[in-house]
Amino acid sequence: MITVSLCMIVKNEEKILARCLDSISDLVDEMIIIDTGSTDRTKEIAYRYTDKVYDFQWIHDFAAARNFAFSKATCDYIYTADADEVINEENRERFRALKESILPEIEIVQMYYGNQLSFGTIYNYDRELRPKLFKRLRTFEWIEPIHETVRLSPVVFDSEIEITHLPEQSHTGRDLQAFRRQIIKEGALSDRLNNLYAKELFVSGQDEDFLGAEEYFTLLADTPDTSMDRMKEALCVIAKAAALRKDYLKFYRYAMKDVASEAVSEMCYLLGTYYLECREYEEAAVWYYNAAFETHSILNIHYSGDMPLRQLSVCYQSMGLMQQAAEYEDLAKNWKAE
């Protein structure tokens, strides 16, 4: 049977840390908890479970903190967890079975991360596979019978273990500050962080967050070598910010760039909102219908679901078509993300 080191980074998690550790402590062989500056009872609680509690000076870099945690691990595999995670009994049994049966060539085990949509997270699905268990020491091996080379890609196993995500609060403010800090430091974000920044804005950003992001995303959209995916994300942020400032010339100019290349639900929704504010209800209904039924969302799944359906109800109610309004309101109430 393999041995497993639990590695966590925490800060001010006194309300939920014990809940997390109670669900995993007997499944791991070593617990390493890195505290990044707690001012509550987090460290006191951590010491009830392990003496391997370390301080790490917070430098606004989660990767650095996780690397420090990994450097303290001594077991065969490393399991990474956050304090707002819980593993129920069914999945605890799956974890035990995995420890007994995992093949030695497996270097990464993915587990399902569930309950995402209940807490306004930036993900457009309720359940997704995430890498959670990592082989601590990797063995390189030669492959191919001719023109041999060293296998560089890790061997990944997708397990059926599901972790339940139960956050106590939203981290949107912290995360948006981190994105802005990275832009100031590096001048740009990676493609992955561009995507996550736009998603965070559309899931839980406030008006001031969009306005603060407008300049960066405008530069991104106006850069010739920006990929189509990143372009569409940028266009949505720009259009939202321009509409908030009532700069409808800029709003329409960037909105049409998206519409000209297979529109996304977010942009159709924004166009519907523009026409609704102009009291052009029929035109607004066309765009809300496109958001709900003819396009797909790229940043927030609700923009292709309950949100445009509810606005369609508003449009038809404004036009005096009460039966259609009731039908769309009912669709909105019963909509569920797939």
pLDDT confidence of residue 117: 53
pLDDT at residue 301 in the model: 92
pLDDT at 150: 85
Which parts of the chain have pLDDT scores under 70? 115-126, 147, 169-173, 338
The tens digit of pLDDT for each residue in 124-136 reads: 556 788 999 999 9
Instruction: For each of the domains in the chain, give its residue range(s) and CATH number, in order of start.
Output: 4-165 (3.90.550.10), 262-338 (1.25.40.10)
Please tell me the predicted confidence (pLDDT) of residue 127.
Answer: 78
**Which pLDDT value is given to residue 237?**
98
**Confidence at residue 147, expressed as pLDDT on a 0 to 100 scale:** 65
Q: Residue 127: in which H helix or E strand, if any?
A: strand 127-135
Task: Give me the pLDDT at residue 125, please.
Answer: 57
CB 71 within 8 A of CB 44: no
Half-sphere exposure (Cβ direction) of 154: Cα atoms closer than 13 Å: 15
CA-to-CA distance for 78 and 28, rounded, in angstroms?
Answer: 9
Measured CA to CA, the distance from residue 116 to residue 107 in angstroms comes to: 26
In whole angstroms, what is the distance from residue 247 CA to residue 240 CA? 10
Exposure b/e, 169-188, CB count within 10 A at least 16 = b: eeebeebbebbeebbeeeee
What does the alpha-carbon distance between residue 300 and residue 265 come to, in Å, rounded to a whole number? 9
